[in-house]
Amino acid sequence: MNFDEITQEIRTKIDIVDLIAEYIDLKRSGQNLKGLCPFHSERTPSFMVSPSKQIFHCFGCNKGGDIFTFIMNYENIAFSDAVSLLAQKAGIQISSSKTSQFNKSLKEKLYSINTEAMNFYAECLKRSQQPLLYLKERGVKEESIEKFSLGFTGNEKNSLFNHLKKQGFEEQDIKASGLAVFYDNKYHDFFRFRIIFPIFDIREKCIAFGARTMSSSKEIPKYINSAENMVFKKGENCYGLNFAKNSIRQKGYSIVVEGYFDTLICHQFGFDNAVAPLGTALTNVQLRKIKRFSDKMLLLFDGDSAGVSAAKRSLEIIFSEALTAKILLLPEGEDPDTFLRKHGGDHLKRLMSQAKKPVEFILSLFSKNILGGVRYILNMLSLCPDLLLRDKIISELSDISKLNELSLRQELKSIIQKTSNLNSNRKASKGLQKVTSSLINTPNRVEKMLLKIALSSTDNCSKVLNCINYNKIESFLIKGIFEKVISMVNSEQSINLEYLLKICSIDEQNLITELSVDFEAEIESLDEIIKSCSKAIELKDVKKQIIQAAEKKDVTLLHELFIEKNRLLSQKGL
């Protein structure tokens, strides 16, 4: 029996209610069961278990998942150990040594599958005129195609899967790689009709893929990544770090950009110390990997509101990891890719010499509220475990803000004392960073409702996807889940919570279980709810455009936007 078969048999033999009832008392609450959460202290039960969906979620600490996740959290063990423990409970023979050997051998198989897939995609690109023409139009040279091992996959349903089978790879291993999904009693390729960007770890092993759609449809996510698995965690890897690491050491700093093409074009123009997170905000783990080569970095982001928000989010964890950073926001409407192709490397170098330090950057955003900016910086600075770096920033803050340095130090001390209930300053850093980061992009009620309906059934998912404009969803967390849901739908796969949880990050899993553990909306009212939520998203987007048009003093556009706003407001349900 292989590992995948073991996990499936465990699911059939162990009911989540029976399992969790061994650890905590559960009482019936409607269609679910409720109890005191085992993961945090509470007096009022907020821990819910869904028998029908075989998931749990705590509305107090926001942990959620399936039987494997529960055991991993409760026993504080790895997935393979959780499988061993649950297999023993289910009466399935599996030794820890066998599990360890399986994990080790599976990792090597996944590396081999990814390498073979990378070569397959590269050959497909060589034979395909449309993506080659597209890359040429984007200014990508042949040398870059070779260096970054770019590829392409057509619209065939299972061409990669069939190729991997012919090369002797087993079905369960191909499935574990995330490059194929199983439904309707057959396997389908995960990536279809997309430019492929192989993702390497710093040892030059291909661990995953990013993919840019060639479709013009606005309903399809522009970029998606491989599902997370044993060798790939999206929040733990950077695109291009394998190519950039030596240059980062030599130049003494890294350049952090936002996307695949940004990284590629930067390297093409000689800025070969550029890297990018994989479609999400920077994480602590990514920064630690970059820090191995230099503790200095330049954030090179778009100059729009999203770029400003990304820079602010990044600075919070940059401080928490005690790195030194400067920030350069490009002119609005430009990103590193387009800017370099329009203006060249020398122009970018001149701009880079004007990059701002964090204090200068933040205070410029709070130009009309200097005290608000100072407090914002002090809160970020409280995350920093490096006393010398803290001291340097305080001096800079005093010089620029013209505030008394002693007063600033006393205020910082007061902020740190407010978090003294945490075990250490580093833990306080992580906790505060998590809170402030979540506040910046907290999923709003409307977007959560739409995702909740989409997750409830395949039919409801189709209704939501047909009604909403995916690109106008603000929460990167919800957008990330929708990307995976849309990929499932595009692959003609029904909504499957078990599979969805497997390919999502921990934060995404927690939100999915929160929204899926209970669904009580009246079926007959769903269409009206979906329509109302969709209109609310459209209205919010129009209001945002109105603010931007007003800042640019574009009277014609403002007039059109106000007409659109009034049209939306006049519709029923808003």
Show me where the domains of the chain are located: 3-94, 102-232, 234-356, 357-440, 445-570
Which residues are registered as beta bridge partners of 50? 55
Which amino acid does the sequence have at 400?
I
Tokens of 219: 């309903």
Tokens of 497: 């919570």
- The CATH homologous superfamily to which domain 445-570 belongs is DNAb Helicase; Chain A (1.10.860.10)
Whole-number pLDDT of residue 425 = 45
d(CA 491, CA 187): 10
Whole-number pLDDT of residue 257 = 96
- CB within 8 Å of 399: residues ≥ 6 apart: none
Q: Are 508 and 480 in contact (CB under 8 A)?
A: yes
Whole-number pLDDT of residue 549 = 79
Whole-number pLDDT of residue 361 = 95
Write b or e for each residue in 111-147: b if 16 or more Cβ atoms lie within 10 A of its Cβ, otherwise e: bbbbebbbbbbbebbeebeebbeebeeebbeeeebee
For every residue of 372-413, which 3-state class applies, written as one string?
A: HHHHHHHHHHCCCCCHHHHHHHHHHHHHHHCCCHHHHHHHHH
The structure tokens 């990536």 sit at: 191
CB neighbourhood size of 479 (10 A): 19
d(CA 257, CA 118): 24
Pick the CATH number of 234-356 from 3.40.50.300, 3.30.930.10, 3.40.1360.10, 3.30.479.30: 3.40.1360.10
Whole-number pLDDT of residue 1 = 58
Concatenated DSSP letters for 142-206?
Answer: HHHHHHTT-EEE-S-SSHHHHHHHHTT--HHHHHHHTSEEEETTEEEES--SEEEEEEE-TTS-E
Concatenated DSSP letters for 46-57?
Answer: -EEEETTTTEEE
Whole-number pLDDT of residue 419 = 61
Whole-number pLDDT of residue 433 = 46
Pick the CATH number of 3-94 from 3.40.50.450, 3.90.580.10, 1.10.10.1800, 3.30.420.10: 3.90.580.10
For every residue of 347-377, which 3-state class applies, written as one string?
A: HHHHHHCCCECHHHHHHHHCCCCHHHHHHHH
- CB within 8 Å of 86: residues ≥ 6 apart: 10, 14, 19, 67, 68, 71
d(CA 123, CA 62): 45
d(CA 114, CA 205): 9
Whole-number pLDDT of residue 439 = 37
Whole-number pLDDT of residue 152 = 98
Q: How far is CA 288 from CA 237, 335, 546, in A?
A: 10, 25, 40
In CATH, what number does 102-232 get? Answer: 3.90.980.10
d(CA 535, CA 199): 38
3-state secondary structure of 503: helix
d(CA 224, CA 483): 7
Which residues are registered as beta bridge partners of 35? 47
For the chain (574 residues), the mean pLDDT of every run of 10, in chain order, is 76 92 88 90 88 92 92 80 85 63 70 96 96 96 96 94 93 89 82 96 92 88 89 91 94 95 97 92 89 94 88 91 94 92 96 95 90 92 89 94 92 80 46 41 77 86 83 82 82 76 84 82 69 85 83 81 81 55
